[in-house]
Amino acid sequence: MMEKRSMNAPVAAATVSPGFSAARDDAKKIGLTSILKNSGLAAGVVLLLSIPIIAYRTNQNANNELYVYSRWWLVGLFVAATFVFRFLRLSISAYRANARLAAPQEQVAGKVPGRIATSGSRILEKITPLAAIAFVTAAIAFPLVATAVTGSLGSARYWFDLGILILTYVMLGWGLNIVVGLAGLLDLGYVAFYAVGAYSYALLSTHFGLSFWICLPLAGILSAFWGIILGFPILRLRGDYLAIVTLAFGEIIRLVLVNWQEFSNGAAGISSIPRITFFGLPFSSGDGGFAATFGLTYDPMHRMVFLYYLILTLALITNIVTIRLRRLPVGRAWEALREDETACRALGINTRNTKLTAFALGAMFGGFAGSFFAVRQGLVSPESFNFMESAIILAIVVLGGMGSQIGVAIAAVVLVGAPELLRNLTFLKSVFGESFDPNEYRLVLFGLGMVAMMVWRPRGLISTREPSVTIGKRKGISAAHVKEGHG
């Protein structure tokens, strides 16, 4: 890796301290041989990495015995791709570094590095206020557009499903954003509260016949209650430990749901959960139904349209409550807690209550989303609430830029919507063969995306912060001045 180091050194030095002349004297022009050598090395590493796991595939024959067959062509593909990619990347950065070395010093010290570093976030910063309006408009107009494009309500069903799915994740993202983004408490067990909400509705409606509209607030209250119960023991913990304990709690709740047959019907879950009603009017074709009461012709899609607008409303409520809370003392305390817990304590902020309110509120919105999930699905089982789900919600918050509301919404659309669309791109099948299922690669790309995000844009898509309270002009704060997660 020595080549790599000597190569990055001038680049780094030029960016960090452009006027520092010693770095310039040390730097040399980067030649083709070192790039080739480095690319070859990377390709060699990939070759070794893929030797057993990619080159040989295990399979079972008719007698259930394992055998291996080789796929060296695939390894060749990976190695070649690595070489080409590495070569191009190094060439480009070497070209830039060499150009910078050749350029007069003033220019180096002046604009170039700064402009490169911030241009991306500037653009995002500018579009942010517009994006919020655009997002809400698009979300409201989405069913109309989908219906108009596909021709009828019935044929737009797929799009309604997708819209509801995305909005559910938007809501979960916004709920978790309170805990992770604002209060800076990394919660890896958020899905537990989603589960509490879902099971609250499922159990209350099937056992006591309560309607969704009574269960929705109850589910929120129960989840908030669980948020406090689980939040209480972990008040003293910080950072990684807090994350791991929340993960443990999330898993405990799931395992209890799996194993406690009498309570939750175990792994099979609870089915035939009552469907949603229009504030009491069922979506049925009969006389007392929604369509008959309003003089419409019955269409089973009415229920989907209603569900869509319901989750949109719930999500927007989450958003509005969060935005309003940020300006209240408790919201400001959350953000102060995120920045520096010790300083918070020194300034007399009650960290216990601050943390518990964040947990409880985040959990409450998770509970709302959970009971919505149960009423939409008509079936809940512990499998829907595994760790992967928590990781996906966390990824949405992280990708969105922790604390940014619109960022979370964009991230949810990208992370949940994009893989769904990928599934429908049939031309990929013609490229990669019939058995190619893009959905299989969804989570692989997902994991890579999380790593790439941390490496390249650790602050997420929208990294600037709106100050919650200002005197005079509001101005975005660059991510460089925000240090969340150090607490």
Partner 1 sequence: MGVPGGTVDVFVQQLINGLTLGSIYGLIAIGYSMVFGIIGMVNFAHGDVFMLSAFIALILFLLVTTWLGISSVALALFIVLIFGVLLTSLWGWAIERLAYRPLRGSFRLAPLISAIGVSIFLANFAQVTQGARNKPIPPMVRGIYVLFERDGYTVTISDKQIIIMATTAIVLTLFWYIVQKTPLGRAQRACEQDRRMAALLGINVDRTIALTFVFGAGLAAVAGTMHLVNYGVVSFSDGFVPGIKAFTAAVLGGIGSLPGAVLGGLIIGLIETFWSNYFDIAYKDVATFLILAIVLIFMPSGILGRPDVEKV
Taking CB under 8 A as the rule, does residue 76 contact partner 1? no
Classify residue 422 as exposed, middle or buried by CB count within 10 Å of its CB (0-12, 13-18, 19+): middle
Is residue 278 a contact residue for partner 1 (CB under 8 A)? no
From candidates 420, 441, 468, 478, binder to partner 1 by CB under 8 A: 441
Number of CB atoms found within 10 A of residue 176's CB: 28
Which amino acid is residue 19, in one-letter code?
G
Tell the residue number behind the tokens 């194993």, with chain if given.
259
Determine if 57 is a binding residue for partner 1 (CB under 8 A): yes
- Distances from the Cα of 474 to the Cαs of 38, 91, 467, 469, 471, in angstroms? 48, 42, 7, 9, 8
| x/- track of binding to partner 1 for residues 393-432 (CB under 8 A) | -xx--x----------------------------------
Confirm if 196 and 237 have CB atoms less than 8 A apart. no
Q: Is 248 one of the binding residues for partner 1 (CB under 8 A)? A: yes
Q: For residue 231, which amino acid is it?
A: G
Assess 52 for contact with partner 1 (CB under 8 A). yes
Choosing from 16, 51, 328, 477, the residue that interacts with partner 1 (CB under 8 A) is 51
Tell me if 322 sits within 8 A of 405, measured CB to CB. Answer: yes
Distance CA 364, CA 386 (A): 19
Residue type, 410: I
Shortest Å, Cβ 47 to partner 1: 10
- The amino acid occupying position 79 is V
Identify whether the C-beta of residue 303 lies closer than 8 Å to the C-beta of residue 276: yes
Site for partner 1 in 360-389 (CB under 8 A): 387-388
Q: Kindly indicate which of the ranges 272-280, 328-336, 463-471, 478-486 contains the residues binding partner 1, using the contact rule CB under 8 A.
A: 478-486
Asked if 64 touches partner 1 (CB under 8 A), the answer is yes
Looking at beta carbons only, is 251 or 303 nearer to partner 1?
251
DSSP secondary structure letters along 18-68? TT-HHHHHH--PPPHHHHHHHHHHHHHHHHHHHTTTTTEEEEE-TTS-EEE
267 binds partner 1 (CB under 8 A): no
Q: How far is the CB of 210 from partner 1 (least distance, A)?
A: 29
Nearer to partner 1, 68 or 347 (CB): 68
Among 22, 62, 431, 451, binds partner 1 (CB under 8 A): 451
Residue 281 bridge partners (DSSP): 278
Window of 65-73, 97-105, 191-199, 327-335 that interacts with partner 1 by CB under 8 A: 65-73
SS3 content of the chain, % helix, strand, coil (to 5): 75, 5, 25
Contact map string, positions 128 to 167, toward partner 1, x by CB under 8 A: ----------------------------------------
Site membership for partner 1, residue 298 (CB under 8 A): no
Minimum CB separation of residue 264 from partner 1 in Å reads 13
Render 200-251 in DSSP notation, one character per residue: HHHHHHHHH---HHHHHHHHHHHHHHHHHHHHGGGTT--HHHHHHHHHHHHH
Minimum CB distance to partner 1 smaller for 236 or for 327: 236
Nearest CA to 332 among 466, 241, 438? 466
Q: Which residues bind partner 1 (CB under 8 A)?
A: 1, 45, 48-49, 51-54, 56-60, 64-68, 186, 188, 233-234, 236-237, 239-241, 243-245, 247-249, 251-252, 255-256, 258-259, 342, 387-388, 391, 394-395, 398, 440-441, 443-444, 446-451, 453-455, 458, 483-487
